[in-house]
Amino acid sequence: MDLGIDGKVALVTAGSRGLGRATAVALAHEGVRVMLSGRDSGSLEEARRSLAEQGADVAVRAGDVTEPDEPTRLVAATVERFGGLDILVANAGGPAPGRAIDQSDAALEAAINANLLTSIRLVRESLPHMRAAGWGRICCITSYTVKQAAPSLALSNTARVGLWGWMKTAAQDLTSDGSGITINMICPGPHATDRMKELGGSGVMGDPADFGAVAAFLCSTQANFVNGSAVVVDGGATLAL
């Protein structure tokens, strides 16, 4: 299937490893020009080199996207490098596991900043460029915990469900504007990534490449009528309806 995004420009945050990188690879295979963001300059450079060897037009910017001003700088760098911005894949590392009743204000605020406010800032900075083009795709990588809370992931449950509520409302705003822009969430369950190793994950896990293919579809012209959705990619792990 031709996804119709050859030549488009994408910004993928937390894109040097894991599901962010898998998404960047899938987009690059469709001819998308990609800006990768991440905190580890070494991992970013390795990802850039790997994609470039496959013929991708890719650039990188090291920085902490959870810092309030970094989304502004990152979007500006993307537009300067590629001349525009059509696709945003907003992604950030998940917070540490822990029980809900044990969380301090500081831990809650950090999780909300990283996994709610960061995505909102990225969307806010990206929208003017997408509106100027009359087309855009926004995909927020979150977690299947927006559908079924995980007992040991209180911080993730809290921040990501907040993003789900905001995004659902934003989708209606974009529809009423007639902007040609869609916004969706993609909600992974256990995948074979470093994050799952940190959480002590075991059992059946998904292939990050399969996840990337789903994310790329949500960023495509073929997904024109998919808007305001939370697409769960978890191999059936979620039992909630």
- Is the residue at 225 inside a domain? yes
Amino acid at 153: L
Alpha helix (H) residue ranges in the chain:
18-29, 41-53, 70-82, 105-112, 118-133, 154-177, 194-198, 208-218
- What pLDDT was estimated at residue 193? 72
Task: Tell whether the torsion through CA atoms of 129, 134, 209 and 199 is positive or negative.
Answer: positive
- Is the residue at 239 inside a domain? no
Query: Residue 170 sits in which domain range?
Result: 9-233
> The whole model's pTM is what?
0.95
- What pLDDT was estimated at residue 26? 98
**For the residues 20-32, what does the mean pLDDT come to?**
97
More confident residue, 62 or 237: 62
Residues 191 and 205 sit within 8 Å (Cβ to Cβ): yes
- Is the residue at 60 inside a domain? yes
Supply 111's token pair. Answer: 């999780």
- Is the residue at 3 inside a domain? no
Position 240 pLDDT exceeds 70: yes
- Is the residue at 195 inside a domain? yes
- Is the residue at 4 inside a domain? no
- What pLDDT was estimated at residue 84? 98
- What pLDDT was estimated at residue 109? 98
Beta bridge partners of 60: 36
Tens-place pLDDT, residues 40-68: 999 999 999 999 999 999 999 999 999 99
Confidence of residue 88 (pLDDT cuts 50, 70, 90): very high
Position 202 pLDDT exceeds 70: no
Pairing of strands 9-12, 136-141: unpaired
Q: Supply the DSSP string of 56-100, one letter for each residue.
A: --EEEEES-TTSTTHHHHHHHHHHHHHS---EEEE--PPPPPB-G
- Is the residue at 194 inside a domain? yes
- What pLDDT was estimated at residue 199? 63
- Is the residue at 2 inside a domain? no
Count of domains in the chain? 1
CATH code assigned at 187: 3.40.50.720
